[in-house]
Chain A
Amino acid sequence: MNSHTRTMSVLTQIFAVALFNLRALPQRKAAALTAAIGIAGVVGVLVGVLAIAEGFRRAMTVSGSPEVAVVLRSGSSSEMTSGLERDATRTVADAPGVARNAAGPLSSAELFVIINLPKRSTGTDANVPLRGVEPGAFDVRGNITLVAGRRFATGRNEVMVGAGAARAFAGLDIGKQIKVGQNVWEVVGIFTANGGLAESEIWADTAVLQPAYHRNNSFQAVYVRLDSAAAFQPFKDALTSDPKLNVKVSRLSDFYEEQSTAVTKFITTIGVFIASLMALGALFGALNTMYSAVAARTREIATLRALGFGAGPVVCSVLVESVLLSILGGALGAAVAYLLFDGYRASTINWQSFSQVTFAFRVTPMLLGKAIAFATLIGLGGGLLPALRAARLPIAAGLRES
């Protein structure tokens, strides 16, 4: 028998034996279903938790255009710990590479404070970011869309509310007033930001917010739109080499990525940890199922071996069955997770700003692919030992099994 014929023969054997296994599956359907459902549960939880991380990461990074830069005081890890004087913000706005329109540089010196509002879901207070922005903020961000009402008027105690914040917090409907400290602000508009972080914020005129918070003429960050993504480095170099300034310059995309890393990592770690624990259970489920399958088919396997089928094809066929069951379970779990979680809206705290970020769970194709790969690994792990056992069964003894 030449090598090609031998290879074909081995493949034929694997295919044939795997087919017998699968045909006999209905006789073991209870055990097979238990294993598949166990794996579906694991994959469902994994996809669910990772969808949280994915949704949070997207909310934090989706609005992070590489053509937008954010300038903070040097050494600041977030806007909360930053502070810039008016002169510094003007220098930033006039720096090389900043885009301009008829009104001047596309720049917004901003103030960032945290206020308390009751959540709609629980009625308990939670932190909401209140951002003071300059008129240029809309052109700088480029993705702010009013979905109801109007923009706040400059010089007035008016706010516009991100759609996520409006959904999550009570009293943020158009026409309502919110009382923060001694000040009362009227909600005049609701906006979206393509699902990005700004949707979790409340925006007001920075010139009105400053005196309300006794900030005189200080800001916390300057956001600028650059001529192009390539203009970032000259812009950064100009600012960091200016002896009058002491600033940290980041692309907005990098800044948001950095801001989201801690929470995303935390959620992912928890998710993978929980899923790994569950996977251990599912692995034993799969092992048990496949050991039972091998035990129930001892005589069949011995008969096939006696007829001349090799040990390799027997190992492969058991693995094929285990992996197919796992993929079936994984696909079921992924589908249920997709139906239940994709687009589900929630909020969590952003540790960098100590405020709530609203976001939608995201079950991405990549995530589904990872989940199926995870299920496949469980199937391989659960099938390997029983497969080896099947291959090592003494043929003569196996033929007499009842």
Chain B
Amino acid sequence: MSATRPPLVHISNVSKIFKRGAEEIHVLSGLELAVNEADFLALMGPSGSGKSTLLNLIGGLDRPTSGTVQIGDERVDQLSDRQLAGWRARHIGFVFQFYNLLPALSAERNIELPLLLTGLNQAGRREHVAAALAAVGLSHRAKHFPRTLSGGEQQRVGIARAIVTDPTVLLCDEPTGDLDRKSGDEILALLQSLNKDHGKTIIMVTHDPHASARASHTVYLDKGQLSNNPVA
């Protein structure tokens, strides 16, 4: 990674205020963050510290109250809802704590979902789905429905769905939070491999120091501010 290249994710002076009735809740205050291409960043912090809020801003699921969110060449905070939907489809792969698979669809159909937004024909989609399934080691479970898969397998399907369009950034929100240690380790190893072997840029929110240890570096969020040191 060249030192002269600008960061892939650049968060500048971002604040996020939620309103609950007359009360204003300042979740993020003047936050700065830069993530380079092919980084694997772990984002830690206590509950309610704003980790998921920050991830949502990076993923274009929410907008900052002030400040700028730039991913690659795109000012994400300036896109309309419609533009954001298209931008997410092209650039972001989400991995959720509770997998968020559609129960009525088989593993391969779940993985195919983001491809429906790409204009690929059916043969092309099938090819991409097969590659993604192979990447997460679940080719033999393609036809299975989520209810017949273990938690670890469901999360692998979730990861396959996140990478199938080859997005710019993978955003993982507590990807091992619902898994036992063994399954969690397998998922972390998979993410690590995607980062190291395939150069995927990953931002992972986690509570778990064991999980953050797999990342290339970790930042800590507390009281709306980031630091490189754990919260005391």
Contact = CB atoms under 8 A, between A and B. Distances in A.
Given A9-B117, A304-B113, A395-B61, A309 B102 contact: no
Contacts of A20: 102, 104-105
A306 interface: yes
Nearest to B82: A310
A23 B61 contact: no
Given A8-B119, A396-B56, A396-B62, A307 B94 contact: yes
B186 to A, nearest CB: 23
Interface string B81-109: 11001111110001010101011110000
Contacts of B64: none
B59 interface: yes
Nearest to B57: A396
A9 B116 CA distance: 8
Contacts of A307: 88-89, 94, 113-114, 117, 161
Given A395-B61, A396-B56, A311 B81 contact: yes
Contacts of A303: 96, 100, 102
Contacts of A12: 116-117
B70 to A, nearest CB: 19
B52 interface: yes
B85 A310 contact: yes
Contacts of B103: 24, 27
Contacts of A9: 117, 119
B117 A308 contact: yes
B94 A306 contact: yes
B142 to A, nearest CB: 17
B153 to A, nearest CB: 18
A49 B85 CA distance: 49
A5 interface: yes
Contact of B116 (A5, A13, A27, A299): A13
A148 interface: no
A231 B158 CA distance: 81
Residue among A9, A302, A306 with the most chain B CB within 10 A? A306
A321 to B, nearest CB: 13
Contacts of A1: 86, 119
A399 interface: yes
Nearest to B96: A399
A4 to B, nearest CB: 10
Residue among B53, B81, B86, B102 with the most chain A CB within 10 A? B102
Contact of B89 (A308, A311, A399): A308
A192 B56 CA distance: 78
Given A20-B102, A299-B100, A311-B81, A306 B113 contact: no
Contacts of A310: 82, 85-86
A305 interface: yes
B104 A24 contact: yes
B62 to A, nearest CB: 5
Interface of B: 52-53, 56, 59, 61-62, 81-82, 85-90, 94, 96, 98, 100, 102-105, 113-114, 116-117, 119, 161
List the 6 closest pairs (A to B, CB-CB), nearest first: A308-B89, A23-B104, A303-B100, A24-B104, A308-B88, A396-B56
19 contacts: A12-B116, A13-B116, A16-B116, A20-B104, A20-B105, A24-B103, A303-B96, A303-B100, A304-B102, A304-B113, A306-B94, A307-B88, A307-B114, A308-B85, A308-B90, A309-B85, A311-B82, A395-B61, A402-B98
